[in-house]
Amino acid sequence: MWLSVISVPAGGYLADRFKRPFVLAIVASLVVAGLLAWLTRSDAVITILVLIGLIGGHPAGPIMSLTARVLVRETRAIGMGVFYTLFYAAMMLGPAVAGRLAKSAGTAAVALDLGALTVLACPPLMWLFERIVSVRHRRARS
């Protein structure tokens, strides 16, 4: 987690520099999902955790900018409130669900695999978001 102090701003910088924030977010999400899945199947635990810390924060900026891209000024405050309420509810429920699964399975590997699947869900959800936004923009121009 301490390495995210480096990876979150680095991800924002790279997203701005290369003008491809969603490509960065998708690639970083895929890499982190792979690392999470590999974590319980490898002896290189420290190396994998360091890599997760250095890469895992890259998608934060592009993902957090999604709501601001679709909300007009008049609805932005309430929209951000709803977004962050759902975000923090998921951050609270995710570990509880993962812990219950790990307890049922008798191994923490299940919790990490659930984390990998959750991160793996980000790219298709971002793609869906982009499709919705592009349809809205096309309709607004018509």
Spatial distance between the Cα atoms of 14 and 74, rounded to a whole number of angstroms: 30
pTM: 0.85
Give the amino acid at 25.
A
Burial class (CB in 10 A: 0-12, 13-18, 19+), 99: middle
41: phi then psi, degrees, rounded to nearest 5: -115, 15
Which pLDDT value is given to residue 114?
95
The better pLDDT of the pair 94, 140 is held by 94
The DSSP H or E segment spanning 43 is none
For residues 65 and 138, is the Cβ–Cβ distance under 8 A?
A: no
Which pLDDT value is given to residue 24?
93
> Does residue 23 surpass a pLDDT of 80?
yes
pLDDT band at 32 (very low <50, low <70, confident <90, very high): very high
> Each residue of 113-129: pLDDT tens digit?
999 999 999 999 988 88
Output the six-digit token pair for 90. 């998921």
> Does residue 7 surpass a pLDDT of 80?
yes
The DSSP H or E segment spanning 86 is helix 73-105
